[in-house]
Amino acid sequence: MPKPDRPASTAEVVSVGIIMNGVTGRMGSNQHLGRSLAAIRKQGGLALPDGRRIWPEPVLVGRNPVKLRDLAAQHGIERWTTNLDEALADPDLTVYFDAQVTSRRVESVRRAIEAGKHVYCEKPTAASLDDALSLAKLADQAGVKNGVVMDKLFLPGMVKLASLVRSGFFGRILSVKGDFGYWVFDGEWGTPQRPSWNYRLEDGGSIISDMYPHWRYVLDHVIAPVRSLVCRGATHLPTRLDENGNSYRATADDAAYGILELDGGIVATMNSSWDTRVHRDELFELQVDGTHGSAVAGLRNCRFQPRVGTPRAVWNPDVADPLNHRAGWQDLPDIEVYDNGFKQQWELFLRHVVVGDPFPWDLLEGAKGVQLAERAVTSWQERAWVDIPDLAL
């Protein structure tokens, strides 16, 4: 692919050199490079109110030179390297992005902060709360701008749900029901659609460590802050086949069932599973029930039912239910064009770096996600409710 042309007037261009570490994986190459930075370059950069345009200049970093070369060529990117130290030493590269596996993230992000780079990274930011907080404190002391990917906040369904919350539509929110997951084939019947390391605890696998950081920022930012929880994890499928067809022991949890208490006494139940067959409209759905109305939001859609439109249900198992319960819900319309969520957050972070626009999703917010996952495991191990204390630098 030819290199995208920079905006015509170089005097109006603000180039931002970005070290992109770990983007040869599926998420990094598709969402962060292809659908985010490469897309921003294709559209001629990111416009600023003063007429300037931000032009991202990615440098790809990884361990496999063949993958790096091919990925760079695919997106018209000139530079790639297998030497992270070389990239960190380049003063023209002011931003470091990390999409590596979690076990490699802490050390790389720490080195980037110490090199004076602004940092943006995938979640979870670390495998432990201590490490996650240490990164947040280090970035604060170094004075570098920092952010964590919280992509689900930018999904159309969650944006619509958040607008209902802000409008007061629900009245007093009573409860939240979250259902996430799908059947991940074990290799005996169907080719696995997720990598095998996801199911080995020793390699960083775990649905709790993967999904509970998501649930933390979704609940905190869309509904209300999380204050306590009880969680039961499970490894429902004890053996799976890896990418080479070899059987291995699954040591990581592949399902988690949680009850969380939020501010205001709101109760949230969150089911997460890679061992469930989907009987819902989307792979993730969140239902919110309030005194004045209810809504169900997915990745893209949001349906609602106000109290004035709520039918009178009567329990009578001896006859067929006369109500079509789904028919009483309305679709919340698209009132704007919803761009890719990863791209939207990248644009906000680039504006944060260049002009100082607000960016609340920092490493401390990322640490809160690690905290929730860690406390969920503690709850599972101790078979008890645990509190979620406030975090501060």
Instruction: List the CATH number of the domain containing 126.
Output: 3.40.50.720
The answer, yes or no, to whether residue 343 has pLDDT greater than 70, is: yes
What DSSP designation does 328 have? G
pLDDT tens, position by position, 273-289: 999 999 999 999 999 99
Tokens 């061992």 belong to 275
Task: Band the pLDDT of 336: cuts 50, 70, 90.
Answer: confident
The verdict on residue 2 lying in a domain is: no
Whole-model pTM: value is: 0.94
Task: Band the pLDDT of 182: cuts 50, 70, 90.
Answer: very high
**pLDDT, averaged across the chain:** 95
To the nearest whole percent, how much of the chain has pLDDT over 70?
97
Provide the 3-class DSSP secondary structure of residue 279.
Answer: coil
Total domains in the fold of the chain = 2
Ranges 99-103, 110-114, 360-364: which has the least confidence: 99-103
Q: How far apart are CA 245 and CA 185, in angstroms?
A: 12
154 CB-side CA count, 13 A? 16
Q: How far apart are CA 111 and CA 93, in angstroms?
A: 14
Burial class (CB in 10 A: 0-12, 13-18, 19+), 391: middle
- Cβ 14 vs Cβ 95: under 8 Å: no
Instruction: Answer yes or no: do 99 and 19 share one domain.
Output: yes
Instruction: Answer yes or no: do 258 and 246 share one domain.
Output: yes
pLDDT tens, position by position, 187-238: 999 999 999 999 999 999 999 999 999 999 999 999 999 999 999 999 999 9
Instruction: Answer yes or no: do 106 and 53 share one domain.
Output: yes
The answer, yes or no, to whether residue 8 has pLDDT greater than 70, is: no
> Residue 59: which residues within 8 A CB-CB, separation 6 or more?
17, 18, 19, 20, 77, 79, 80, 81, 87, 90, 93
Q: How far apart are CA 160 and CA 138, in angstroms?
A: 35
pLDDT mean over 18-28: 93
CA angle (210 as vertex; 209, 216 as ends), nearest 5: 80
**Residue in 75, 80, 389, 25 with CA at minimum distance from that of residue 227:** 389
Write out the two tokens for 5: 């042309």
Instruction: Answer yes or no: do 200 and 325 share one domain.
Output: yes
Instruction: Answer yes or no: do 256 and 174 share one domain.
Output: yes
Read off φ and ψ for residue 133, nearest 5 degrees.
-70, -35
Long-range contacts of 302-305 (CB under 8 A, 24+ apart): 302/156, 302/157, 302/160, 302/161, 302/164, 302/331, 302/332, 303/329, 303/330, 303/331, 303/332, 304/164, 304/169, 304/329, 304/330, 304/332, 305/329, 305/330
pLDDT at 335: 84
Q: Which amino acid is at 328?
A: G
Owning domain of residue 169: 153-339+369-386
pLDDT at 26: 87
Instruction: Answer yes or no: do 69 and 178 share one domain.
Output: no
Task: Band the pLDDT of 2: cuts 50, 70, 90.
Answer: low
